[in-house]
Structure 1
Amino acid sequence: MASLSVFNPNLYQGKVVFVTGGGSGICYAMTEALMRHGASAAIFGRRAANIQSAAAALSKATGQRCIGLAGDVRKLETLEEAAARTVAELGRIDYVICGAAGNFLSPLEGLSPNAFRTVLEIDTIGTYNTYKATIAEVVKTRGSYIAVSATLHYKGTALQAHVSAAKAGVDALFRVMAVEYGPRGVRANVIAPGPIDGTEGISRLLPPVRPPPRFPRVSEQSSETHYLLQDVREQSIKRIPLQRFGTPEDIAQSALFLFSPAASYITGTVTVVDGGDYHTFSSMGAVPYPEAFQEGGPKLSKL
């Protein structure tokens, strides 16, 4: 990762960051940025082989120590074990990034209870479990938390009821954490990314093809009615005030600031990093409205 950082390269020397969802995407970039500025890291993810490979790659790229820990954020005990191992191997936990998340497109009509529950369990309960498993150590170091949220719940975002509910819960949790743990020297802030290029999230929210106006079931869609991905991307980018998608590095730089002494009087806030996107909601460019939600709409839930 070619760094654009303006921060001292030794800013996080001797510090340790614990990251859920750190095996890929935005949270991988955040971890790498902190490690390039001196931190050691523990990254947590569901697939053991993937998380171990990511940890090895981060260590090689930065020259800092990174351990990979496998488990499910929906299970508090696995996070408690991971936090204990982090302290045993790295000595402490100064910073925590709560980044594990799940997402897909689905209208409410086609959203199953299981699908809705699963996203809340990963995003909201997973964030709570991460806090619960690490807070005792973070209080010791008077450290800081960052949750990776979204802007979808700032308005009614079609096809994203499940994630909107989950991320609203994350934001509320961190506001309470800021109030209750501020007197003990712990800060809690949220970063809300917009559309970030090259991530799994953007690939799911801007699918490879654009459905026809009536949004028929996937099995009924005809290739003749599809629009190319490039058309959808261009429409979405035009609606972003800064005229581009974000990069993982954009989010990483915000994390470097929020964990730093420069942000020592900032807690309980949401930092939106989206190029102004939530004011115009570029993602709606991929969804024909209101046609997509009239009678006979899709059943796209996959869980």
Structure 2
Amino acid sequence: MRALLPKDLLRQRTVFVSGGGSGVNLAIAKACAQVGANLVLCGRTETKLKDAVEELTALGAEAVYAIADVRDATAVKAAFEMAEERFGAVDAVVCGAAGNFLAPAERISSNGFRAVVDIDLLGSFHCAHAAYEQLRRTRGTILFVSGGQSQMPFAHQAHVAAAKAGVDQLMRSLALEWGPHGIRSNSIVPGPVSGTEGMRRLAETVTEQVWAGMVPLGRFAVPEEIAQIAVVLLSPLAAYVNGSQVVVDGGMATVGSAAFNHAVRQAG
């Protein structure tokens, strides 16, 4: 996808991305690299992080990674300390680490429900909390990666709906509390995105044809389309955007989740 934003839009700024080794989060990191940012990637899988850093370096960015599970507050704090030591302070944080699986509510174990809430919601809090002092110095910004489940119910997604709704309310609370310090907080809500691990997991149950029927634009997004909007929200172009949930779903929220729900129930 052709770069559409000024090449120096995030020059000399440092962006921290949790879950940054793959998928939409890596696409956001790449888009930031293309407009001059330094990158710090955080995740659990070192091989993915190494490969991702190589891709970012090839784009001309200074990039490093930290191995950390966002559920571990101590590990997350250490990752931000490393970022501060390397780059001075972070200017932006993308809270993108997430977990998901399909299961009817009556079959979700307590551990399964907790795992998704801990990764998505608690992990987002850990990253925001650990970044606070650095963001206060830089008057920086936080971008939470939410999901359509926070807005409307999807079958077999009760755990994700609870987690993502919590993420969006956390975002709004931080926008209110930290806004006076110059820290902006927003969330982005992607629709179905091609080539991501999440979509591959759902493909056998909810086909591309079903998804396309749910999206007025009639297609999946490509990761770069989500990433471009994310960069805008992280940049000075969005200097007065705070406490906003920005939906990038091709219009899916206007249609609803009925086709998804039917496909999931038919699959059993």
Question: Which residue, 9, 12, 19 being the options, matches 2:10?
Answer: 12
- Of stretches 33-42 and 235-244 in structure 1, the one that deviates more from structure 2 is 235-244
Question: Larger C-alpha radius of gyration, 1 or 2?
Answer: 1
Q: Give the aligned residue type for 1:287.
A: H
- The 1-side partners of 2:82 and 2:229 are apart by 28
- The 1-side partners of 2:150 and 2:60 are apart by 39
Q: Percent identity?
A: 38
Superposed CA offset, 1:225-270 (max 9, x none): xxxx7xx211320221111111111111111211222211110000
Name 1:194's counterpart in structure 2.
191
- The 1-side partners of 2:26 and 2:137 are apart by 25
Name 1:3's counterpart in structure 2.
2
Partner SS for 1:190: strand
Change (3 A) 1:235 1:289: closer
Q: Is the 8 A contact 2:15 2:37 kept in 1?
A: yes
- Of stretches 253-262 and 13-22 in structure 1, the one that deviates more from structure 2 is 253-262
Name 2:54's counterpart in structure 1.
56
Return the offset for 1:290: 6.3
Name 2:134's counterpart in structure 1.
137
Name 2:36's counterpart in structure 1.
38
Name 1:87's counterpart in structure 2.
84
TM norm structure 1: 0.84
Question: Which residue, 140, 152, 156 being the options, matches 1:155?
Answer: 152
- The 2-side partners of 1:50 and 1:236 are apart by 28
Return the offset for 1:284: 3.3
Question: Please, which runs of 5 or more residues in structure 2 have no aligned partner?
Answer: none
Q: Is the 8 A contact 2:152 2:257 kept in 1?
A: no
- The 1-side partners of 2:87 and 2:138 are apart by 13
- The 1-side partners of 2:89 and 2:71 are apart by 23
TM norm structure 2: 0.95
Q: Give the aligned residue type for 1:67.
A: V
- The 2-side partners of 1:13 and 1:291 are apart by 50
Q: Is the 8 A contact 2:193 2:199 kept in 1?
A: yes
Q: Is the 8 A contact 2:143 2:185 kept in 1?
A: yes
Q: Give the aligned residue type for 1:258.
A: L
Matches within 5 A, 1:157-172: 157-172=154-169
Matches within 5 A, 1:189-268: 189-206=186-203, 208=204, 210=205, 232-268=207-243
Q: Give the aligned residue type for 1:55.
A: V
Name 1:126's counterpart in structure 2.
123
Name 1:218's counterpart in structure 2.
none
- The 1-side partners of 2:258 and 2:93 are apart by 29
Q: Is the 8 A contact 2:187 2:245 kept in 1?
A: yes
What's the C-alpha RMSD, in Å, of the aligned pairs?
1.7
Return the offset for 1:154: 1.6
Change (3 A) 1:52 1:70: same
Question: Please, which runs of 5 or more residues in structure 1 have no aligned partner?
Answer: 211-228, 293-297, 299-303
Name 1:146's counterpart in structure 2.
143
- The 1-side partners of 2:66 and 2:111 are apart by 27
